[in-house]
Amino acid sequence: MTPLVRDPAPLPARPRSRPPGTGAASLALRPLLDGPRRPARVIAAFPAAVYAEVRGGPEPRVLAVVASDAARMPNAVVVPAPRRDRPFRGVREGADAVVGDGRVETAGFAVRVRREWDPAPVLGPLHPAALARGLRAVEAACGDAGMTGGGLAGHPDPELLAARCAAGDLAGAVEAAERIVGLGPGLTPSGDDILCGLLVALRLAGGAVRPDGRAVWLADWLGAAVTADAGTRTTALAATLLHCAAAGGAGAEAGAVLRCAAGAEPPGPAVRRLLAVGHTSGTDLAHGLLAGCRAAVALTGPRWMNRAG
C-alpha cells in the first residue's frame, strides 16, 4: 500500500539544486499546479517516475513526474528527458516536496510546467457499428499480443462487473465494482486498473456513440460510487487514478487503444504498448477498456435507444 502522508510540516525551502527543468502537465492537474505552493511527500521514486502526494484538498492529490519514455498516466507531468538520463536520480522516497505555483520541487529535482496535455482523447461522434468493428479489431490485437487474464485472473467479479455494465444494471455493477476496489498488490491494484479502464471507456466511447446515453449515465453513477471512499480503501495513487478515470481521464497508452477502437488507426502497436505497462497494470487496464467498449455497444441496442436512464 502507498504510505500515507503525515501531517504536513512547514513548507520546505526551495531546493538548492540545479535550476528547474520544464514539463508538460495533464490538464487534470491544473487545480493542483495552479494553486499556491503546498507541502507534499514523495511516496515512491523509480528511475522513470516519481510520485508525490499532497495532503488534503480535492483530487487529484497524487501527481506523477515521469520521463519522456515512461508510461503516461492521466495525472502526469512529463519531463523532456528519457529514463536513461536518470532525471530522478537525486529523489528519495519519503522526501519532502512542494507542489503549486506551476512547479513541482523536491530535494535534487525541480520542474516548472510550461505546457499542458489533455488526458481525455476525443473519439466522436461515432456510429455504434463503427465502434463494434473497432472493438473486434482491438480484441483480435489483444489475442495476437498474447494478453493474459491479468492480476485478477480467475476472480469472478471482473467478469460479473462487465456483464452487469453491458446489461445496464447499475446496482449489480456497483456491487461487483466495490468488491474489487483496492484488490491486488502494488501502487495501482489490479481491481482499480480494471475499473479505470472500464470508466474511461464507458464515458469516452459511450459518449462518442451517444452523449446522453446509458453508457455515460452508468459512468456517472459507477464513478461516483467507486470514488466516494476510495481514499480509505486503496492506495493514494490508485484513488487519484480512479477520480481521473471517472472524469474521463485516460493515460496515453489507454487513450491510444480507445482511439483504435474508434477506428482511428490499426490497433496492434497501441495494444502492445498498453500491455507493456507495469507488471499487470496494462493488461488490467485493457480488460477494463474492452469491458467498457462492449457495454457501450450493448447499451446502444434497441432496448436502450429511447431511454436516457
The pLDDT assigned to 20 comes to 57
- Residue stretches of the chain with pLDDT short of 70: 1-20, 301-309
Contact 90, 43 (CB under 8 A): no
Contact 77, 113 (CB under 8 A): yes
The pLDDT assigned to 9 comes to 42
DSSP character at residue 108: T
Lookup: cell for 165: 455494465
- Which residues lie closer than 8 Å to 10 by C-beta, 6 or more apart? 39
The pLDDT assigned to 56 comes to 81
Taking only the tens place, the pLDDT of each residue in 91-117 is 999 999 999 999 999 987 899 999 999
Taking only the tens place, the pLDDT of each residue in 14-55 is 444 455 589 999 999 999 999 999 999 999 999 999 999 998
DSSP character at residue 19: P
CB neighbour class for 263 (10 Å; exposed up to 12, middle 13-18, buried from 19): middle
CB neighbour class for 130 (10 Å; exposed up to 12, middle 13-18, buried from 19): middle
